[in-house]
Amino acid sequence: MKRVRAKGIDPSFASVVHAFAKDRQVTYGGKGFGSSALKVKGRIFAMMSSKGSFVVKLPKERVDELVRLGKGRYFDTGRGRLMKEWVALDGPTGSWVELAREAHRFACGETQDGAARRPTMSRAKGSSWIRR
C-alpha cells in the first residue's frame, strides 16, 4: 500500500490501515465516497463512515449474524436504504482488524471457508445486468 500520513487517518481506524500496510494490492483513500476507505482491486472492503462508524463489506449471512448478535447494524448510506452486505460498528475496536481481514477475503472473491466465490449478477442504475 502506498504510504499514507498518520494525521489523515481516524485514530481508531489506524490499526486496521496498518494491518494492510504491506499488501501491495490494498490502497487507502481517494476522493468523495471512500475517501477514508481500504480498497482491493478498486473495491471498498473497510472504511470509516462520515459519522465515525467502522464499516465493512461481508456476505449477507455474516452481516445478519453480527446484527442479530448486537455487534453491529446494517449500514445506511444516509439515503434511508440499509445495505445488506455492509455492517457498521461503533465502540471497541478490538475485532476491527479481524473483520477487515474477513472483508478483504470477501472482496477478493473468497468465501469464509477459503473457496472461490461465484460471481454475482447486479444491475447498475440505468443499465442491463452485469457480472461482478
SS3 category, 8: helix
pTM of the model: 0.77
- Any idea where the domains of the chain sit in the sequence? 6-111
Per-residue pLDDT of the chain (132 residues; tens, 9 = 90+): 555 544 568 888 999 999 999 999 999 987 777 778 999 988 999 999 888 899 999 999 999 999 999 999 999 988 888 899 999 998 776 789 999 999 999 999 875 554 444 444 444 444 444 444
Grid cell, residue 68, equals: 442479530
Hey, which bits of the chain come out as E strands? 26-28, 37-40, 43-48, 54-57, 73-76, 82-89, 121-123, 129-131
CA–CA separation, 46 and 49 (whole Å): 10
Topology of 6-111 in CATH? Aspartate Aminotransferase, domain 1 (3.90.1150)
